[in-house]
């Protein structure tokens, strides 16, 4: 599916045959603990890309964009060239008279034996929780940095034109009652020219974000904030520029009418096309751990989980959906059964996945709603598909569903841009895998400020609990 797979698989064969490794991967969870604790750089433990170690020993990544491209990898001596054609693993061939190799299960090492056949060995690092590493960046907490990217990075404007996934004006609305943030309030505003309504739901910090087209008229605009049966308005809103607005419900709500969110709806939406083969087994192990720990950490509130998987048109399935369930063991079993295959071209059925999220599931109303979106490829670029993607993101924001992308190996800058807009438009946060684990293909450095490198499972559990605290 991804062009890099043919190069990656070919290089794995050569390096295995010659007794060396492309990376010097961290081989155990304990080593990652040591790396994260002691501030060991990626150059010491991974593929030579650098990360600065902060004063407290935590790893930080730079904001300089994607690392330099790796040199082209050729075949040593007179070994015949490997060819990977399509997204499915079954079509990996060795030129001339050698046999076709088949890939099943977790990624392992390709070995060419004397007869030219390809065998799959067990991976040198067995999938288990605590191996993958990642980082987080919340653009809504760094909004001026996001805006400045349009002035400092020429490509950023082209990404906006490509995905139509940003708006010129952001209104941050903070809602309180009795000195505390008011979670679950609906905030709405009519867009420029009173065409359409933009809505969002306040989080556990009482914050909601509305993104609108820039208005150049002299009309007076208002924000409507609704909690239960009570509606209040914020008058004289300047829709020509971004701003922060506050409103307090203390005088309009009885204290007994203010309640904390009492449930968690946790959805996983995972790309299972062929290009995910290098990380899927590891991601599954991490997510199993996350589901179990979140349930254990929040035993005092109802927790429901929905695991879902998608590929692309003409694959065995486009979307494989599972309803929300409080049977955590069933959700984990459904997760374990999935494998990577199909895809073919780079874009995948992202729009179908998002449509499933907002239209095909019954989300509990009085709940914190989080959707982790694990993927390594963008949606198709057809105009109607891009419109569908943006429409689904708007619906997610209006329903209070926080989209939290988990960007995997192969994500490019354009897709990073799109995923970050999905996150900030829904009050979510952007997360991404890093090279520090030595697992999977290359992960680009996101165009952000300093961030802390964490073990992926710990980071996801922390983020979930942050939305609940």
At 213 the pLDDT is 72
pLDDT in tens, the chain (469 residues): 443 343 343 344 333 333 333 334 444 445 445 544 444 333 333 333 333 333 333 334 443 333 344 333 332 333 333 333 334 433 333 333 333 333 333 444 333 333 444 333 445 689 999 999 999 999 999 999 999 999 899 999 999 999 998 787 899 999 999 999 999 999 999 766 556 689 999 999 999 999 987 666 666 678 999 999 999 999 888 888 899 999 999 999 999 999 878 899 999 999 999 999 999 999 999 999 999 999 999 989 999 999 999 999 889 999 999 999 999 999 999 999 999 998 777 899 999 999 999 999 999 999 999 999 999 999 999 999 999 999 999 999 999 999 999 999 999 999 999 999 999 999 999 999 999 999 999 999 999 999 999 999 999 999 999 999 8
Pick from 126, 153, 80, 100: nearest CA to 447: 153
Q: For Cα atoms 466, 63, 33, give the angle at the middle one, nearest 5 degrees.
A: 55
* Pair 460, 432: CB distance under 8 Å: no
| Closest alpha carbon to 16 in 119, 104, 168, 97 | 119
Q: Are 414 and 421 in contact (CB under 8 A)?
A: no
Tokens representing 420?
Answer: 């970050």
Residue 372 to residue 359: CA distance in whole angstroms: 17
3-state secondary structure 279-338: CHHHHHHHHHHHHHHHHHHCCCCCEEEEEEEECCCCCCCCEECCCCECCHHHHHHHHHCC
Rounded Cα distance between 216 and 218, Å, is: 7
Range(s) within the chain of domains with CATH label 3.40.50.410: 133-139+261-468
Contact call for residues 268 and 372 (beta carbons, < 8 A): yes
The pair of structure tokens assigned to 404 is 């939290």
Say if residue 153 is exposed, middle or buried (CB neighbours under 10 Å; 0-12, 13-18, 19+): middle
- Distance between CA atoms of 271 and 420, rounded to whole angstroms? 17
What span, in angstroms and rounded, lies between the C-alpha atoms of 396 and 122?
A: 40
In the structure encoding, which two tokens stand for residue 383, read together? 């105009």
Q: What are phi and psi of 390, to 5 degrees?
A: -65, -40
Of 306, 295, 313, the closest CA to residue 266 belongs to 306
Residue 310 CB coordination number (10 Å): 24
Tokens encoding 250: 């203390």
Q: Residue 73, Cβ neighbours under 10 Å: how many?
A: 14
Q: To the nearest 10°, the Cα dihedral for 371, 372, 378, 381?
A: 0
Q: What are the residue ranges of CATH 2.60.40.10 in the chain?
A: 166-257
Q: pLDDT value at position 261?
A: 82
pTM: 0.76
- What is the topology classification, in CATH, of domain 133-139+261-468? Rossmann fold (3.40.50)
CATH label, 166-257, candidates 3.10.20.740, 3.40.50.460, 3.40.50.150, 2.60.40.10: 2.60.40.10
Q: CA–CA separation, 167 vs 153, rounded Å?
A: 17
pLDDT value for 99: 33
């Amino acid at each position: 599916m991804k062009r890099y797979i043919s190069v990656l698989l070919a290089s794995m064969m050569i390096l295995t045959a010659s007794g060396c490794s492309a990376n010097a991967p961290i081989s155990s969870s304990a080593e990652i603990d040591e790396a994260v604790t002691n501030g060991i750089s990626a150059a010491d433990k991974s593929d030579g890309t650098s990360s600065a170690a902060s004063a407290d020993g935590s790893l930080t990544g730079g904001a300089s964009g994607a690392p330099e491209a790796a040199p082209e990898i050729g075949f040593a001596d007179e070994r015949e060239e490997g060819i990977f054609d399509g997204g499915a693993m079954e079509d990996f061939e060795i030129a001339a008279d050698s046999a076709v190799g088949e890939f099943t299960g977790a990624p392992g090492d390709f070995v060419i034996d004397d007869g030219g056949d390809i065998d799959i060995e067990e991976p040198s690092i067995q999938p288990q929780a605590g191996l993958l590493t990642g980082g987080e960046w919340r653009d809504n907490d760094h909004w001026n940095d996001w805006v400045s990217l349009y002035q400092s990075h020429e490509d950023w404007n082209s990404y906006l034109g490509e995905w139509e996934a940003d708006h010129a004006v952001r209104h941050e609305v903070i809602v309180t009652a009795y000195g505390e943030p008011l979670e679950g309030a609906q905030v709405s505003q009519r867009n420029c020219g009173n065409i359409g309504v933009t809505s969002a739901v306040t989080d556990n910090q009482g914050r909601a974000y509305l993104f609108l087209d820039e208005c150049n008229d002299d009309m007076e605009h208002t924000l409507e904030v609704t909690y239960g049966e009570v509606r209040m308005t914020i008058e004289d809103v300047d829709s020509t520029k971004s701003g922060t607005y506050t409103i307090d419900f203390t005088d309009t709500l009885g204290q007994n009418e203010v309640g904390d969110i009492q449930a968690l709806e946790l959805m996983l939406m995972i790309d299972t096309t062929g290009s995910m083969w290098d990380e899927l087994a590891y991601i599954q192990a991490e997510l199993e751990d996350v589901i179990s720990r979140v349930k254990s950490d929040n035993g005092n509130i109802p927790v429901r989980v929905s695991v879902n998987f998608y590929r692309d048109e003409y694959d065995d399935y486009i979307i494989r959906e599972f309803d929300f369930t409080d049977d955590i063991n069933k959700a984990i079993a459904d997760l374990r059964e999935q494998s990577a295959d199909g895809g073919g071209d780079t874009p995948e059925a992202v729009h179908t996945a998002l449509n499933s999220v907002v239209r095909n599931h019954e989300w509990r109303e009085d709940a914190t709603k989080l959707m982790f979106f694990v993927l390594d490829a963008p949606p198709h670029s057809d105009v109607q598909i891009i419109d569908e993607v943006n429409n689904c993101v708007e619906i997610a924001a209006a329903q209070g569903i926080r989209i939290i992308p988990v960007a995997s190996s192969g994500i490019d800058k354009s897709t990073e841009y799109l995923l970050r807009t999905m996150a900030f438009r829904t009050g979510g946060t952007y997360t991404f895998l890093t090279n520090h684990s030595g697992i999977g293909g290359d992960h680009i450095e996101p165009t952000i400020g300093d961030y802390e490198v964490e073990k992926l499972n710990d980071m996801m559990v922390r983020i979930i609990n942050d939305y609940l605290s």
